[in-house]
Structure 1
């Protein structure tokens, strides 16, 4: 059968496949079913894990790989990208959940890990002469409200005696004021918070309640962190607690907003930088299909993450959008409302999560081959 033109534009699949690897696997499976299909690969990111890798692959630039303070305080290698005078910083590279083994995702750890390394990356950007820093938010292990980042910038929280607080969000309940550096450490640096979520800082939809449990927080820890973040919000340079994306990356969004950052959709920003719209224009002209995906297509996917960006861009052009995900937890009605025409789960096709995790690229390719027989003609 004669193949249609296809745009393959996935996010990374959790800790199993990077976005470029996922795109390659989907393309391989698609071409097995439809050898003459024209397949355009546009791997994407929404600000979380893989943000810098995807932009480096698409934009070029200089990739810096410094060691900075990781979530536990030990050094980690955290790449950042310089394109002209713009720095692209991935917060997850410095304090991402992938730095915390599952066995260590405990209530104690959830309340004590730090964003200090993110501040160090911003200082590196200033030293390199950058005038703008785009900070990808998502995939963090932290719920410290950006206090660790502030500490790296000389703005860290102090207790009533003027002593620096220990790292982590739990200690913020004892914060009395911010340190006062002799000058602005980020003078002349425009900040852009590229967020994959629109959650506020506090409450049932806030940083602690929504994202704390996946980082190891139990109910008591969530309550303690939410109270500590509320106290921290009182000390920030301006009121930001209810602004969209303030709760991103464990409240790192709030800290950036208080420094004057503007918020942009991480998925939308990457979509524009890497030419997704132009690729979809070509598909629309030929009556093709858009394929996107991520590790888990769930309710969080519908709150500003990459799948919704691809689906809305496809819908604008009348292009069908199909999701291939590790697991699918979104109903057909919710998916359709987001512009998704169909969603398929690798785990279901492979016969279970364990089988899909044993060979993530192979099982994703196999699913893509199966889907291509339905959508590729």
Structure 2
């Protein structure tokens, strides 16, 4: 019997690679004769580079770039053949913002100064490394500047000078944007925005109103001001592109990439194709995926549903191991998931966070008793 482990990360506790290893270890305790194959997954957010490196190999390049609040941060990019893979969260991620005492909530107002400049530096480094195709994973961002900083790092200029790199609070003053130098920097380079988000840049479904609160943009007044700044930016940089699918991804990073001639594709699809997931699914008997919290957002292009769709096409059962399950059986079945199992329900919340790998292995060991041939 062949079991495929294809989980996403368990945010805050396990990377996708660690989760897949823990699941495989636990399953093998119950079914030592089973062939267990791991294929860690990602949708463009944190872990994107590590997941791809584990599957496709290539060379990891270490660089230092400008973080979201201007402090230099270490980052990596993966070069595999002529393609470079970049994880935008390494340069502008939510985890890089200063927080309240709880260690999770961004300080009030910090996102108004946060810039995506470092992501542009990563793209530039990829080009210098010889890449002719650059795939930028979008997700987990702590920024909301419409990718203006990225554009500045690649050579775009503005009037007044310098406003592109100053975070969204500076964009309200922008009068003109010239993208010629940035587009010239990318001449001959295929640019791909890998994201599970298809929101536009502006409005009720835009970057600010849908994702702003998690970045510290709280309250109607703050959201109106942030969206107005992005609107001012889009009015001079290109309003039509602001309405394209994915323009609102990662606080508008998608918008900047589209302005530069990039195209959007679902982040899950990018990774699935790179690791040849459809073939792995077809060659397996049971497909196991997972993530930290299986909720309504998971049903909208996230890894578990993406894996389940491939499993359904191959007529293979797909089950989910998650930290917490907040979706009912009816919705699970509607999305091709046979069953979902909660780590917290089995080992308790305290143990799940204190010993995540051991707890996930224990859950996999238990679930294997139902899904393995004996």
TM over 0.5: yes
Q: Residue 155 of structure 1 contacts residue 181 of structure 1 at CA under 8 Å; is this kept in 2?
A: yes
Q: Where does residue 222 of structure 2 map in the other structure?
A: 221
**Given the two structures, how large is their TM-score scaled by the length of structure 2?**
0.93
- Where 1:36 maps in the other structure, the secondary structure is coil
Q: Residue 49 of structure 2 contacts residue 85 of structure 2 at CA under 8 Å; is this kept in 1?
A: yes
Residue range with higher mean Cα deviation, 69-78 or 331-340 = 331-340
- Please give the residue correspondences for 1:242-257 in structure 2 after superposition, counting only pairs within 5 Å: 242-257=243-258
Residue range with higher mean Cα deviation, 66-75 or 92-101 = 92-101
TM-fit CA distance, 1:231 = 2.0
Q: Residue 293 of structure 2 contacts residue 326 of structure 2 at CA under 8 Å; is this kept in 1?
A: yes
TM-fit CA distance, 1:165 = 5.1
- Shift of the 25–230 alpha-carbon distance from structure 1 to 2, 3 Å rule, reads same
Q: Where does residue 331 of structure 2 map in the other structure?
A: 334
CA distance in 2, matches of 1:181, 1:278: 42
Q: Residue 80 of structure 1 contacts residue 87 of structure 1 at CA under 8 Å; is this kept in 2?
A: yes
Q: Where does residue 289 of structure 1 map in the other structure?
A: 286
CA distance in 1, matches of 2:347, 2:56: 35
Matched, 1:145 2:137: no
Matched, 1:319 2:316: yes
TM-fit CA distance, 1:167 = 2.0
Q: Residue 96 of structure 1 contacts residue 141 of structure 1 at CA under 8 Å; is this kept in 2?
A: yes
Q: Residue 152 of structure 2 contacts residue 165 of structure 2 at CA under 8 Å; is this kept in 1?
A: no
Matched, 1:263 2:264: yes
Q: Where does residue 357 of structure 1 map in the other structure?
A: 353
Q: Residue 85 of structure 2 contacts residue 135 of structure 2 at CA under 8 Å; is this kept in 1?
A: yes
User: Number of paired residues?
Assistant: 367
Q: Where does residue 90 of structure 1 map in the other structure?
A: 87
Tell me which of 350, 362, 368 is aligned to 2:364: 368
Deviations 1:185-222 (CA, angstroms, capped at 9, x unpaired): 22221101111222221223221122111122212322
TM-fit CA distance, 1:164 = 3.1
**Where in structure 1 are there 5+ consecutive unaligned residues?**
none
**Where in structure 2 are there 5+ consecutive unaligned residues?**
none
Give me the CA root mean square deviation: 1.7
Tell me which of 26, 29, 34 is aligned to 1:37: 34
Q: Where does residue 26 of structure 1 map in the other structure?
A: 23
Q: Where does residue 96 of structure 2 map in the other structure?
A: 99
**Given the two structures, how large is their TM-score scaled by the length of structure 1?**
0.92
CA distance in 2, matches of 1:171, 1:97: 20
TM-fit CA distance, 1:261 = 0.6
Q: Where does residue 194 of structure 2 map in the other structure?
A: 194
Q: Residue 157 of structure 1 contacts residue 172 of structure 1 at CA under 8 Å; is this kept in 2?
A: no
